Each structure stands twice: as structure tokens, then as C-alpha cells.
Amino acid sequence: MIDIIGAGSLGLLFAGRLASSGTEVRLWTRTLEQARMIACEGITVFDKKGRTAVHVPGDRLQVAPLADWQRLNSHTAVQWILLMTKQGGVDEVLKQILPVAKTERATGIVCLQNGIGHIERIRRAWPEAVLYPAVTTEGAKRQGAASVVHAGAGITEIGWPEEQEKAQDRNFKQYVLNRLLAAGFDVCLSKEIENGMYRKLLINAVINPLTAIWRIRNGELLSDPVRLHMMRKLYDEGIQVYEAHGIHWESGWWDQIMNVCQATAENHSSMLADVLAQSMTEVASINGQLVQMAELAGVTAPTHEVLWQLIEGMRLKEE
């Protein structure tokens, strides 16, 4: 069984495809209302042309609000978690899980958050858990409580230990990895996940705040010289921060950002989606983290700082 925490766009996509390919999943939602809707409607995954790619009826799903975690897990050890909440939801997840976390059998957690800072927070709070940091370029857009549009197939990279694999890692390969592959996800194990996380951080730090401020789709960033100029400024400042920290970066990353905008041209970035839904964004874990890294290294990232403050200043409500 795989526990998927978070029923946003990625949570629904992974839960729907895993369940439809025969994996037992439990899906944990933020609210009771969403759990009831999913239990009633089932999960539907549409392809980008609007055709139904996957439908899992509600009676074939186990779905519950996160607030029920302690009641439902007080006797059993949870083995595999796909943590799919936004950065802002991670502390609430830990608050619900830790009181009944079992130490006799390590829990493996695949962490799929945007931005950085969450891995250290989870590790500090739950040292016995085995963490698999991950990044994905899957493009998904939630539609209502129980449906998601799979807007673009991507690759999911999962961090793999450089040292020798432990028993837990071998079980992970046999179970979680195989299930993800069987569900049709393009997944690879990476010994350089940190690099992948910094690459994704920069992609998000360039695309997300600008699309959120201008309220435009990802592709619209490319259609205007002023927008491209701002993207380049954010990119150059980010690279300067990475250089100051000795973080490896590659000259191809700028082209990758352009490619992501093209491949997801019709999408709202996750930050724009949050702004439109009036919910708190991940800007502090993305541009805010870059600003803090800049301060630590004695350099500046003024464009990131201004965008961070502008978006924080929207005072969007907590999740």
C-alpha cells in the first residue's frame, strides 16, 4: 500500500494512475469535504485534449482527511508515503503523523515539493524516516475536487543514496519504483538529486513569480521582450547565488527554462493558480530561499527579493 498525502493536482494524478494500475493507495486530503467528494465521484484523469485517460470509481479508493491519520494509523506502521502537499502544508502533515509514527519499521517518504528547505525540516522532525527527495516535471492541473488534467507528461527524478543501498532502498525499488513504472510514470533514480532540486528551484524561481504577478500563462512569458528581460534577470541573479555557494550549475539551464515555458505554454504555474485561488503561495520556499542563500553568501538577489515581498504582500490565506 502507498499512502499519498495531498490531493492537489499531482496527488490526484499519482493516486488515480497508481490505483487504476492495481496499486493499493490511500489518499489523504486536507479537508473532509474533499475526501467526501473524491469518495463519491472517484478520481478522473483527463488528457490534455479533455478525453478521460483514467477513471477510478470512489468505491475502489480509500480516501480520508489528514485529520483522521492518528485514528486510522494508531496500530499499524505506515511503510511508504508519497508526500505531495505544497511546502506550506508540510508542517501540518508532520503534526498529524508524528504522534503515531512507529520506530520499529522505518517509513520511506518520497518528498515532491517545489522549492527547498523541506527536506531538512522533515529530517529534523522525524529522523527515523527514510527520505527520498524528488523533483518532477509532470504537468497537471486540478479541476474541481476529484479531477485533474494531465497537461504534459514529464520525468520524475527520485534521489538515491550515493552510499550502499540499505534494505529499505531495495524494498523501495521492488515496490514503489515498480508500481510507479507500472502506472506509466517516467521515473528515474538519481544520485545527483541535489543538482536536480537546484535546477528545479531556478526554473520555479524564474517562471512562477512572474506569471503570478502578471497573471499570465507560462507560454506568455516568451512573447514579450520585457518579460524575457525580467526572466533573464532572475536567472542571472540565481546563478550568481549558486556560484557564491559553489553549487554546480549548467549553461543549458536557461534553455531548459525556455523549454518548460513552451512545453507548458497553456498552463497556469502553481503560483499563479494559488494567487487565483487566493491561497498562500510557495514564494517563500522558492524566491525567499534564494534571497536567504544570497544573504548567507554575502551577495544580493534584489529582483527575487522584490518579487518575494510583492507576492507575500498579497496576504493570501493559509492553506
d(CA 81, CA 260): 28
d(CA 194, CA 173): 20
* Residue of the chain from 15, 131, 146, 203 that contacts ligand PAF (CB under 6 A): 203
Smallest distance, ligand PAF to C-beta of residue 268, A: 7
Beta bridge partners of 2: 25
73 lies in the site for ligand PAF, by CB under 6 A: no
Place of cell 503534526: 95
Nearest to ligand PAF of 19, 280 (CB atom): 280
267 lies in the site for ligand PAF, by CB under 6 A: yes
Applying CB under 6 A, which part among 37-45, 63-71, 95-103, 200-208 lies near ligand PAF? 200-208
DSSP code of residue 317: B
Subset of residues 103 to 132 that bind ligand PAF, contact rule: CB under 6 A: 114
Beta bridge partners of 108: 80, 130
* Residue of the chain from 15, 148, 260, 311 that contacts ligand PAF (CB under 6 A): 260
207 lies in the site for ligand PAF, by CB under 6 A: yes
Nearest to ligand PAF of 147, 269 (CB atom): 269
301 lies in the site for ligand PAF, by CB under 6 A: no
* Residue of the chain from 9, 190, 269, 292 that contacts ligand PAF (CB under 6 A): 269
287 lies in the site for ligand PAF, by CB under 6 A: no
Buried b / exposed e across 200-220, counting CB within 10 Å, b at 16+?
bbbbbbbbbbbbbbeebbbeb
Smallest distance, ligand PAF to C-beta of residue 180, A: 19
Residue 123 has a CB neighbour count (10 Å cut-off) of 12
Q: Is 6 left (phi over 0), alpha (psi -120 to 50) or beta?
A: left
d(CA 217, CA 215): 7
Applying CB under 6 A, which part among 72-80, 163-171, 189-197, 201-209 lies near ligand PAF? 201-209
User: What is the phi/psi pair of residue 186, to 5°?
Assistant: -90, 100
Residues that bind ligand PAF (CB under 6 A): 114, 203-204, 207-208, 218, 260, 264, 267, 269-270
